Amino acid sequence: AAGERAIALAPNSAEGYAWLANILNFAGEPYEAHGLAEKATRLNPQYAGPWYLFEIGHAAYLTGRYEEASVALKRVLTRDPEFWPAHLHLAVNLSESGQEEAAQAEAAEVLRLSPKFSLEVMQQALPYRDQAVLERALVALRKAGLK
């Protein structure tokens, strides 16, 4: 509700659309999130950086569009190679699409950029409404070599 209100108050705020996309991805509304993240990118193409593209990739992954997710997440990394959440989600995406070697390379990048990373902390930090989504990601990350 707060995200929708923010957009109503500032309909040209790319940040408002990106934040609402983030919330909706975790709330189980990735199709709507995808459109909002794309709108954020259109509203502020100069920024259209890691975060907006990340939400596009996150939504694409959540809807099973693995190739689209990989493209968006790789675009994030061309703009900010140290944005470790993109490496993390790319590892999940690649693992689930059967690209284990590439998933392991992304998992190694997560550990290089965030040496104290743990699946236990991630499990507590990510607020997915549908816990099955989180469990699916955890399985993929374990296959990629994260603990």
Residue 129: other Cβ atoms inside 10 A: 10
Q: How confident is the model at residue 51 (pLDDT cuts 50, 70, 90)?
A: confident
Q: What pLDDT, in 10s, does the model give residues 6-20? A: 999 999 999 999 999
- Whether the pTM exceeds 0.85: the reply is yes
Check residue 25 and report its DSSP letter: H
Evaluate if residue 36 carries a pLDDT over 80. Answer: yes
Predicted confidence at residue 45, as pLDDT, reads 83
Predicted confidence at residue 46, as pLDDT, reads 76
Q: Are residues 96 and 66 in contact, defined by beta-carbon separation less than 8 angstroms?
A: yes
Predicted confidence at residue 22, as pLDDT, reads 96
Average pLDDT, the chain: 95
| Mean pLDDT of the region 102-114 | 98
State how far the alpha carbon of 26 is from the alpha carbons of 20, 46, 92, 100, 128, in Å.
Answer: 10, 26, 16, 25, 5
Q: How confident is the model at residue 48 (pLDDT cuts 50, 70, 90)?
A: low
Q: Which helix H or strand E contains 37, and what residues bound it? A: helix 30-43
